[in-house]
Structure 1
Amino acid sequence: MSEASAQTTVRLAPPLVSGAVPGTGHYEEFCRNPAPFLMRCHAECGEVSSFDLAGLQTTLLVGEEAHEAVYRAPDSQLSAAQAYQFMVPVFGQGIQYGAPPVIERQQLKIQAAGLRHDRMVLYAPIVAQEVRDWIADWPDEGEEDFYEKFTELTLKTSTHCLMGADFRANMSDEFRGLYHDLEMAVDPEGLADPDQHGVMAERRDIARARLGELIGERVAQRRAALARGETFHDMFQHYLDATYADGTPLSDHEIAGMVVWFMFAGHHTSGNTSSWMLVELARHPDLMAEVVAELDGVLGDSEEVSFQSLREMPLLEAFLEEVLRLHAPLVTLTRRVMTDFHYKDYLIPAGGNVMVSPYVAHRQPEAFADPLTFNPGRTFPDGPFAYLPFGGGRHKCVGNAFALLQIRTIFAYLLRKFTFELSEPPEYYRDIMPSLILRPSDPCRLRFRRRAR
């Protein structure tokens, strides 16, 4: 319920969670791992709770009605850009959260146009080839840290679809290292202070500048190839062809920022979710057998996984949806309160943050029966504000469709060739949060064995 539907003139302050430390409030507990902390907030206070992030007052809202109020609020009242200023040094000034709202909206449209259905059909065989190459030299059995393996794979697939085959073929360790330095500077502490990292922030800025140089070189190479009459259909070409509403093309700086933005949207979530997908398959061998049987039935003797065949695998799709419910990659979705925000009888004053948590939302029994049980056969709520693995509203993650395409393709090939077992007891694999994205325990080791076919 928003301000317009509230009737009372008496406004209540959101209840404050216990355990605040003088001077820093709940900052240390939040930064250790926001997921269990936010669960504690909801258990203690219910639908509305507040906590102190070293002086930044933050209000957690839980439930479909509360989520709708947040996502339907205008940017002028609840601003994503102001809440995520710590991403500006990563993407670059003038890109997404560092751009004026009218420019950001146009950039979102450019990103979305590059991920529409006709382009996804082009990306599917690229991802498929990367997966085939990835597993081609695996031994018949072994043990691996699959978080690291999936991170490497999804960086390759994202880069190939984004920058083209020649860039992917020559992708250097420098590129991987620079991107890693950007990732490491993005963590929960940034919500309170974007520049608190010191050395990590310095490495972030050096990495972003060097990536700008590398991508700028790529722009020059691509324009020379276009002048020779060559044609391209990757995301990079989409950026070179794109224009703003007034006909102005993207600058080299903006192209570099859009590339980094795409990588965070399409790679970050894919690697983490693929890791949890494999853990849950190995935790539930009976369910894994059902998914494998579906794959075998759809694909038969074919070694090819097409874009169309991926749409004919409801058990794989349902399994992935349930993984995203219990292990949503985005734990927090935050907005800065620009003008006083009223929810029911509560007043959330300007200057603080409001937060929605898919992690908490997906564990509510009102929306998901027996929520802590992994059940791909469950019925999901009909409304758009209960299941939020990629956020919601106008700022929903733009790379979600590409991330899902990658994950479905990876497992369509992987499960046709190998079976998997946990290397550790099931309880070992738990959510940890070294950055703003949830991942399984480090290391995330599993055993694999080639299928007898």
Structure 2
Amino acid sequence: MGVVDSIIDYGEVAFNLFTSLTLGQQISIILLTPFLYNLLWQLQFSLRKDRVPLVFHWIPWFGSAIGFGMKPYDFFEECRQKHGDVFAFMLLGKVMTVYLGPKGHEFVFNSKLADVSAADAYTHLTTPVFGKGVIYDCPNARLMEQKKFAKFALSKDSFKTYVPKIREEIVSYFEESDQFKLSTREKGVANVMITQPEITIFTASRSLLGEEMRKKFDKSFAQLYSDLDKGFTPINFVFPNLPLPHYWKRDEAQQKISSTYMKFINKRRQSGDIDPNRDLIDSLLTHSTYKDGVKMTDQEIANLLIGILMGGQHTSASTSAWILLHLGEKPELQDELYEEITSVLNEKGATINDLTYEDLQNLPLVNNTIKETLRMHMPLHSILRKVKRDLLVPNTKYVVPKGHYVLVSPGYVHTSDRYFPNPYEYNPHRWEAQAASTANDDEGEVDYGFGAISKGVSSPYLPFGGGRHRCIGEQFAYVQLGTIVATYVYNLRWTLKGDKVPDIDFASMVTLPEEPAEIKWEKRSTCVL
């Protein structure tokens, strides 16, 4: 008890001393104490030989949030030049250990499930958007099986049926949207931050969910997805639930969309009208029993439908917007694409109305345009995992403690001249010579439960991530984006409205173009409207 008594005595002395000070002195101590603690904590962290170099920060808890949040790639490069490829920084109370470059890709993406967790890093962000029991709100084994269930609708045979549906949706949008109205207008101005999110959700819903569900996706329903989309912001990552309007809209949108899906599911359950080859809804109603015999509930199926559609909504809307902007800056590249597309179609005496999945495979410049856009504008600039147990950084003495985070940034590597010459030059032709450098065939494949994928993550080019959480929608993205590019180029020719391609807006968790992001378009002679 003597030690306890001594502590109490010291506490009383300190308290009496503090209360004897003037109000100004008391306020100064209260304000300065966190800063002093912050400096002592950083000193203690830096003196440990088993910790990675720490980026110095003055502001407690907030850390390097401003530099990282405004220009993450510049921030990473500045830190790399000072500390090397491996370093740590404070981000809103969380310590992030960054490992840049292909070795960093291996370290994070190939880490064992027992060591790092994507669910622990993201579930508080994703669960309010997708719903309970799916994606990161379930054990990893369940997530892997959910991916397998979804892949039934992502087969080559399915893609063949999707291409004409996607093309029809785009042409219909050209005819009806206020941004175009091609039936009555020869030229105009379009905001790609309006057109591409709408086109993405309309084409994805038509192809994946079927025509009956697509009819529900009018502008008001698309707005619900927009409200849901606003649940993926940095403030949501730090504070999952706050009494603010955009949180209320997120929750209301989730409930309304989920309710709409449930009505369709109940209708098909009651009628028995279920064809697993018709659309993703029926596919999941047929293929959603886990290996242990447990079936997904219908509510979980509805939530998974939200997750699948939202997973592609971010990336494809962002990527297609960037494609249009870069092509607007390079009309000559549009003309090359036009020549490639019309050549393939003319060879079989067809027009864009006859575009097929097989045609997309014969359009290398179209596919390289998508590839180059994903290089310059990977939708997610940073990918996180939470460390579940002390983790040794390979070939170093550094240990990342349990509870910290590891961060990898393929987008940084994509735009580094250490890996890509002239990285800020938009040049789809670079891939004609670099195809071999991005191949992982020699590294084999692994099946995490949802089909075999390349286990190689040492490539400097990983726009769809890697490892067990690699995006399963990669092939669908190329089908959707390829059809969008081909349909735009065949019908329109455009230039930028502004002087240059807009800068990247890193305020969102997705790398979007800053507004205004507009193109000036005019109809081509081959326009179908």
**2:517 paired residue number:** 444
Contact 2:100 2:413 in 1 (8 A): yes
Mapping of 1:4-403 within 5 angstroms? 12-32=50-70, 34-85=72-123, 86-136=125-175, 137-138=181-182, 139-195=185-241, 198-227=244-273, 233-242=278-287, 243-300=289-346, 301-303=349-351, 304-343=354-393, 344-345=395-396, 346-378=398-430, 379-380=434-435, 381-382=437-438, 383=440, 384-385=457-458, 386-403=460-477
- Secondary structure of the residue aligned to 1:218 is helix
- State the shift of 1:33 in Å: 5.1
Aligned-partner Cα distance in 1 for 2:101–2:143 = 28
Give unpaired runs (5+ residues) of structure 1. 1-9
Distance in 2, Cα, partners of 1:392 & 1:259: 22
CA contact (8 A) 2:53 2:87 kept: yes
Aligned residues: 442
* Unmatched 5+ stretches in structure 2: 1-47, 176-180, 441-456
Instruction: Report the counterpart of residue 6 of structure 1 in structure 2.
Output: none
1:376-401 CA-partner distances (Å, limit 9, x unpaired): 22215335431111111110122222
Q: Which amino acid aligns with 1:234?
A: D
For 2:365, the aligned partner's letter is: L
Kindly state the Cα deviation for residue 201 of structure 1 after the two structures are TM-superposed.
Answer: 2.5
- In the alignment, the residues of structure 1 paired with residue 112 and residue 292 of structure 2 have an alpha-carbon distance, to the nearest angstrom, of 24
> Structure 1 stretch 345-354 or stretch 30-39: which is displaced more?
30-39
Larger radius of gyration: 2
**Structure-2 separation of matches of 1:52 and 1:230:** 51
Give the TM-score of the pair, scaled to structure 2. 0.79
Percent identity among equivalent residues? 29
Give the deviation of 1:205 after TM superposition. Answer: 2.1
Q: Deviations over 1:337-370 (max 9, x none)?
A: 1111111322211111111112211122232122
Runs of 4+ off more than 4 Å: 229-232
| Structure with bigger RCO (C-alpha 8 Å, 6+ apart) | 1
Give 1:116 deviation, angstroms. 2.1
- Report the Cα offset of residue 333 of structure 1: 1.0
Q: Displacement, 1:39? A: 4.1
Letter in 1 for 2:137: G
- Provide the C-alpha distance between the structure 1 equivalents of 2:507 and 2:227, rounded to a whole number of angstroms: 13
Match of 1:416 among 490, 501, 514: 490
Report deviation, 1:149: 0.5
Q: 1:248 deviation in Å?
A: 3.7
Q: How far did residue 117 of structure 1 move?
A: 1.7
Question: Superposition RMSD on alpha carbons, in Å?
Answer: 2.1
> Deviation per CA, 1:132-181, whole angstroms, max 9, x where unpaired?
22224422111110121011111111111232102212334442232222
Once the two structures are TM-superposed, the CA of residue 74 in structure 1 deviates from its matched residue by 1.2
Partner SS, residue 335 of structure 1? strand
Deviation string 1:196-245 (CA, Å, 9 cap, x unpaired) is 57443333222222222111111112224434x87861111111111222
Q: Distance between the aligned counterparts of 1:431 and 1:164, measured in 2?
A: 34
SS of equivalent residue, structure 1 residue 388:
coil
Could you say which residue in structure 2 is the equivalent of 1:7?
Answer: none
